[in-house]
Amino acid sequence: MNGSKTFAIHENRYYVVMPSKLPLQLFARTAILACACIPAAAQQTQHRPPAVPLVTNDPFFSVWSMADHLTDAPTKHWSEAAQPMLGLARIDGQTYRWMGAIRRATIPAMEQTTLEVTPLHSIYTFRAAGVELHATFYTPLFPADLDVLSRPITYLLWSATATDGKPHHVDLLLDVDPQIAVNDGSQQVTWGRTRATNLTLLNLGSRDQALLHRSGDRVRIDWGYFHLGIPDSFASSTALARDGIRQWIADGTLPQSDDQEMPQAANLGAHLDLSLSLGEVTTTPVERHVLLAYTEGYGVEYLGRKLRPYWQRNNMTESAMLTTAEKDYAALEARGRKFDDDLMRAMEQVGGPEYRYLTSLAFRQTIAAHTLVADIDGTPMLFSKENDSNGCIDTVDVTYPSSPFFLLFNPTLLKAQLEPVMRYAALPRWRFPFAPHDLGTFPLANGQVYGGGELTEENQMPVEESGNLLIMVAALGRAEGNWDFARKYMPQLKQWASYLEQKGLDPENQLSTDDFAGHLAHNTNLSIKAIEALGAFSEIAEGTGDHALATQYRSTAKSMATKWEGMALEGDHYKLAFDQPNTWSQKYNLVWDELLGLHLFPNSIAQKEWKFYETKMQRYGLPLDNRKTITKLDWEFWTASLTSDPKQLADLTHRITLWADETSSRVPLTDFYDAESGRQMGFQARSVVGGIFIKALMDPKIAKQFAAH
């Protein structure tokens, strides 16, 4: 090695350790030279995520680091509203920062030497004064374990060792600002402490507790309570005080009594402060952990009914849930490490190291854009929030791009998203011959609000959403190996198939899921969706026992696919719209032809398109179409999955990884950016990034492996 970087080994993971005086971006674009002591497969380039997931439970309980280092800026909600958590370390009497920014005093930051984002963990390593500190945020979002998935818990773990062979006395401080429990800092908050078995709980919430009263896009929760859970087995002191940080910096202690003057505005209220003693730290790791939790009583209102979080479906109390989460900690942490290792190894097999990295970035974001609740009979219902685009709940064309994630890891969670919208579509109040777009504005799922709502067809997405639901219901039936769900809603599915048979081949001037581009008549990619959806309906009909209907619609879909090819062909590629010469677009909807085994279109179409796409690549990816250089992260991977050439997949994956490393938009993954400049065009923290798992879903071996997790 040349001395500019060295390798460190931690728990069988390999990191590039970088001097803090050099910019992370430089190393993110530098190839790592082979080292005889480290297997080539184990080497990892140090990437610079646009934002790092810290607390990722649902759209409300969502905290991120949006900077190169955890100490560069306050932690924030996905919406970029400040929700500061401050972390300090006192090493032999000298205070350092390992998380957050502070104005009251000049506290030097520990040197951040590595960062690794895995599917379930964000792992930071810091050094200062002869001590190495690992700080890990772990959210056990196991898709196949709904009980654990639904717990509103993120674990914060620390591990400290001496690096100079000398013992060092180390104490840690964690400070949580009251703004974590309100929409804005002027709202009144109260605080207090309680007990659960083997846990001390510091609690904070708004005074008014107006349940489910606030809906919208860039809003935070202001009902329910944030909890900081501290295991009794650790030497610690706690305080609920405004000046706890100041006192701890001064002498390493916290106030002996809690502030009692409440309520107070959140920006003036008591902070939740924890001081943990690690004692004498040597070469043997000293480990500690705490629980970060948020409980809200009710998670969603669906058609006028207030529904509780899934973990509460059997009347489990907050205390019991927190006690169970602490009891399960060690087993869950071991399970989470194995899950990460298994998944990252599999993703590298599918698409290489860069695909592994991007799927790790997308994993927690995909799930955390949803909330899991239980219907009155205990049925799981999973509601997405359309973060940073309009705040809609259970949007069909948001579920559609994220569906590969759920089909891969647990189809039950896809069914839990489809169930609420299908029930709604079956009601007399939904009077259109096509499928709905959404169920309202999160967290109020009381009826469609997009476009014309329930009143008019204007500005709706008739072909788009009808096609989406037919395709997803068929994919669900194949994944589950039964057609019970489809059978329950056959009247609606038949109606939508009939609509697409009439309107789908050459769509009218309608919106598609890419509604930011405006209305487009004769949309060839939307036409593909309609054709694939009719093929999907033939699978549904076959699965539910109506063989004649299956034969009819398969013939219809095949005939339409043949017509499509003749209508869309333009020399060496296929047009954006049937009536627009000299145009092109990504035909990402073609991916279902293979996924559902429909084979309606000849393989030559995808091959021809990909040869053309290679001429249209930009630095950061493939534009959606000829009109602009804007693109969508999810659709790029769907399009990438159409190629049979690994080099084409690797090239597009590399361009997207380069964008993630270099973009100036320091927010949770956007799915909408400019492929030429890398600039974010809108949207962030959305579940649609789960669409990048489509390539893994298409691998039968990988799909089988994770169906069992």
**DSSP characters over 541-574:** HHHTT-HHHHHHHHHHHHHHHHHHHHHHEETTEE
pLDDT for 510? 86
pLDDT for 405? 98
Burial class (CB in 10 A: 0-12, 13-18, 19+), 454: middle
- Domain map (residue ranges) of the chain: 47-327, 339-707
Q: What is the Cα Rg of the chain in Å? A: 26
Give 358's Cβ-side CA count (13 Å radius): 31
Q: Closest by alpha carbon to 537, among 513, 522, 558, 511?
A: 558
pLDDT in tens, 545-592: 999 999 999 999 999 999 999 999 999 999 999 999 999 999 999 999
pTM of the entire predicted model: 0.92
Distance of CA 164 to the CA centre of its chain: 39
CATH code given to domain 339-707:
1.50.10.10
**Which residues, in sequence order, are CB contacts of 492 under 8 Å at separation 6+?**
422, 425, 426, 435
pLDDT for 1? 36
Burial class (CB in 10 A: 0-12, 13-18, 19+), 653: buried
Q: Are 45 and 34 in contact (CB under 8 A)?
A: no
Identify the H or E element spanning 87: strand 85-91
Q: Same fold for the domain at 47-327 and the one at 339-707?
A: no
pLDDT for 296? 95
pLDDT for 709? 58
pLDDT for 156? 98
List Cα–Cα distances, 691 to 68, 401, 588, 597, 633, in angstroms: 26, 5, 11, 19, 8
Q: List residues bridging with 196 in a β-sheet.
A: 199
**What does residue 89 show for φ and ψ, rounded to 5 degrees?**
-130, 130
Burial class (CB in 10 A: 0-12, 13-18, 19+), 569: middle
CATH code given to domain 47-327:
2.70.98
Q: Tell me which residues of the chain have a pLDDT lower than 70.
A: 1-45, 104-105, 708-709
